Structure 1
Amino acid sequence: MTKPSEEVETMDDATPEENKPKGIKPAKLTAIIIAVIIVALAGIGGGYAYWTHHEGNAYHEAVAQAENADKALMKAIEQATATTYKADQLEEPKLLDKLNEQVKKAESLKGIPDDNPSEWLAWQLVSAKQANAMDADEANAQAKALNAALKAVRDSRLAKELDTAKSQLKQGIDSASQTLRDTDGKVADNATRDSLTKAIDEANNTLSKKGVTDPKTYTDAKAKLDAAVRQVTDSKAAKEQADAEAAAQAQAQAAQAQAAAAAAQSQRSYSQSYNRYGGSGSGYSSNRGYSAPRQSYTGGSSAPAPAPIQRPNNGVLGGGAGDFHDCSKVACSILGN
């Protein structure tokens, strides 16, 4: 009888080789493990490369955005500081303090970070991207705040200019209306007053307009009104000058007439005096003297004839001054001498 152990051994030995179970040989298993590791490493490497590429693109995009934001902020600073504003130019002077505060904040920003991350170190790219994105956000926010503060100051200045121009136009209308009243009948050309009336009406229409946003609307109307006022005042001055010249001419003519009348009166008085005392009119001419008749005595008396009376010649009876004229008592009595 065969022993069990012997039977088993005999059956194992008798089993064909191809019917025995197959296993993985050690060499093949090692190759498989190596291949799996290689594939895994390849996948990890490819994923990292993709990661670094993606973060690199994001970093450069963030840098460009930060640069644009910083340029916009610098432009806002330049605009805010290009014009010098004064508190008395603004309707709300406190807005100027807010603008100056925003300018200081904008100038204090550092700008784009100065970093040079490696293109193969993804964590550096991520950090640099975040820094540039933060700079862009800060610059954009500050530029927005600065522009808002600048706009508030400009709007306040514009409102003050509008109020001032409107007030000046109203004062100009009042003054022009007074000029129109004061010059009635006192201008050389009344058409100037008609032009002033039209300019006043146009100025009132401008003053009543709603929604005026440009002070030039009021200043142009004021300039036109002032020009019309000057025409009226010039015309008034021309009339005053013409009136003064006419009065002076009339006064001169009256003085000339008075002088001529005085001269004529003086001439008449002189002619009358001349005719009375020696002219060719009435009176005694030097050629019309009287000679006393000689008296002859006949008779017995031998007394001599009386001597003729000698009178000084006063120029009436002829002869020169100091000459004497002989006359008889009768002739002299006739002459009243």
Structure 2
Amino acid sequence: MTKPSEEVETMDDATPEESKPKGIKPAKLTAVIVAAVVVALAGIDGGYAYWTHHEGNAYHEAVTKAETADAALTKAVGKAKDAASQYKADQLKEPKLLDKLNEQVKKAESLKGIPDDNPSEWLAWRLASARKANATDADEANAQVKALNAALKAVRDSKLAKELDTAKSQLRQGIDGAGKTFKDTDGKVADNATRDSLKKAIDEANNTLSKKDVTDPKTYTDAKAKLDAAVRQVTDSKAAKEQADAEAAAQAQAQAQEAAQAQAAQAAAQPQRSYSQSYNRYGGSGSGYSSNRGYSAPRQSYTAPQQSYSGGSSAPASDPHYGALGGGAGDFHDCSKVACSILGN
């Protein structure tokens, strides 16, 4: 028996070259396998390097976006806090909106923010995980900024709505009061032009009140201020007329009092007169007024009887005791006893 090796050798030696099977020789096959392994290893190493490079870039981009979003959120939280501290519930048309704003502030402050990690640049799976965490943070921060801004806008809009309602209501009340003033001051003002201006201001205020697109309370407050100014002009003119009328009445009263006092003084200055009948000492009689003697009885003259005297002497004519008829000594009489008492001398 030939040994297998011998048979092979015998066959290799005996078999012609053209009849042997064709294929890769063992030496060449080994070289191909080695080359394929080398190529495979090189391909795997290059793909991982590309992966790590890609994840590294994506991670850094996500970090930048997260930082930007967190900064915006911090700013939004600050604005919301300021508004929450400045606004009061009674300033809002819907007071509960202020509570919602405070809730959004608390929610924003509860967010974790950017993850605190620093993955290795050669650990692709760590880079990928960190990228996702930063992307999630950025999305949450951006969403919370929108929620805060919406809540803040709702509060501001509610405050504006309340201001609009208040200003509009005040203008309506002003129009009512101005109309009453216009009606009550007819014929009672010093200058009627002020009432004309008030009527014009009332018409303009009504036009403003009827507008549908008013978004600024100042539109109403300006109309109210103009209306109030017109009302003040009318009331001032009314007060001026009342003062002028009062001064004229006082002056007329003073003049009347002065006239009455003058008449009283004139009446008091006239003497009290009484009727009296006077007597003329020379024998005449008449009637008249006397301010101090009153009524006087008529005087009577007396003629003493003529007497004659002896001796033929006569009294001088200038003697008061000489008789009324004159004459001689016989005509002399004693005046002190009879005639003088009658004559009142």
Q: TM-score, normalised by structure 2?
A: 0.74
Counterpart residue type for residue 261 of structure 1: Q
Deviation string for 1:241-292 (max 9, x for gaps)? 11112222222222222233333333333899xx9559xxxxxxxxxxxx99
- CA distance in structure 2 between the aligned counterparts of 1:46 and 1:294, rounded to whole angstroms: 188
Instruction: List aligned pairs for 1:238-277, cutoff 5 A.
Output: 238-269=240-271, 277=291
Change (3 A) 1:77 1:23: closer
Distance 1:158 1:10, change over 3 A: closer
Structure 2 match to 1:78: 78
Question: Do the aligned partners of 2:66 and 2:135 also contact (CA within 8 Å) in 1?
Answer: yes
CA, structure 1 residues 20+169, in 2 after alignment: closer, same or farther (shift >3 Å)?
closer
Shift of 1:115: 1.1
Aligned residue in 1 for 2:161: 159
Instruction: Look up the match of 1:12.
Output: 13
Displacement of 1:132: 0.4
Letter in 2 for 1:328: C
Compared with structure 1, are the counterparts of its residues 249 and 29 closer, same or farther at alpha carbon in structure 2 (3 Å cutoff)?
Answer: same
> In structure 2, what residue type is equivalent to 1:307?
S
Residues 95 and 153 in structure 1, CA contact (< 8 A), matched pair in contact too: yes
In structure 2, relative to structure 1, the CA distance for the partners of 1:138 and 1:188 (3 Å cut) is same
Q: 1:305 maps to what in 2?
A: 334
Match of 2:340 among 311, 328, 333: 328
Q: 8 Å contact 1:292–1:330 — kept in the other structure?
A: no
Which residue of structure 2 aligns with residue 186 of structure 1? 188
Could you say which residue in structure 2 is the equivalent of 1:295? 322
CA distance in 2, matches of 1:123, 1:52: 8
Q: Would you say 1:128 and 2:112 are equivalent positions?
A: no
Counterpart-to-counterpart distance in 2, 1:81 and 1:207: 35
Kindly indicate whether the alpha-carbon contact (under 8 Å) linking 1:59 and 1:129 is maintained by their aligned counterparts in 2: yes
Kindly provide the amino acid, as one letter, of the partner of residue 235 in structure 1: S
Residues 2-41 of structure 1 correspond to what in structure 2 (within 5 A)? 12=13, 24=25, 26=27, 31-41=31-41
Letter in 2 for 1:128: A
Whole-angstrom CA distance in 2 between matches of 1:206 and 1:71: 44
Q: Which amino acid aligns with 1:294?
A: H
| Cα 1:107/1:294, change in 2 over 3 Å | same
SS in 2 for 1:269: coil
- The within-5 A match list for 1:42-191 is 42-83=42-83, 84-191=86-193
Could you tell me how far apart the structure 2 residues matched to 1:205 and 1:253 are?
52
> Residue deviations 1:25-81, cap 9 Å, x none?
64x665544433332222112111111111111111111111121122222212212
User: Following the alignment from structure 1 to structure 2, what is the Cα–Cα distance between the partners of residues 111 and 173?
Assistant: 56
Q: 1:14 to 1:198 in 2, by over 3 A?
A: closer
CA–CA separation in structure 1 for the residues paired with 2:241 and 2:140 = 72
Deviation at 1:98, TM superposition (A): 1.3
CA shift digits 1:92-126 (9 cap, x unpaired): 22222211111110111111111111112111110
Q: Quickly say closer, same or farther: Cα 1:237–1:104, change in 2 above 3 A.
A: same
In 2, the alpha carbon distance for the partners of 1:168 and 1:21 equals: 111
Q: Deviations over 1:107-157 (max 9, x none)?
A: 111111111111121111101101001111111221222222222222222
Evaluate the alpha carbon distance shift between residue 135 and residue 271 of structure 1 in structure 2; reply closer, same or farther with a 3 A threshold.
farther
One-letter code aligned to 2:161: A
Q: 1:12 to 1:21 in 2, by over 3 A?
A: farther
The aligned amino acid for 1:50 is Y
8 A Cα contact 1:292 1:328, kept in partner: no
**Which ranges of structure 2 fall in alignment gaps of 5 or more residues?**
1-5, 275-288, 293-317
SS of match in other structure, 2:271:
helix
Residues 183-211 of structure 1: CA distance to partner in whole angstroms, max 9, x if unpaired? Answer: 11111111110000000001111111112
Distance between the aligned counterparts of 2:124 and 2:290, measured in 1? 147
**Is residue 192 of structure 2 the alignment partner of residue 200 of structure 1?**
no
Q: Matched residues in 1 for 2:268 and 2:97: separation?
A: 90
Q: Sequence identity, in percent?
A: 69
Q: Structure 1: 5+ residue runs without aligned partners?
A: 279-290, 310-326
Q: Letter of the 1:331 partner, please give it.
A: L
CA distance in 2, matches of 1:154, 1:277: 101
- CA-based RMSD of the aligned residues comes to 3.5
Residues in 1 aligned to 2:81 and 2:11: alpha-carbon distance in whole angstroms: 109
Given that 2:77 and 2:108 are in contact with CA atoms closer than 8 Å, whether structure 1 keeps it comes out as yes
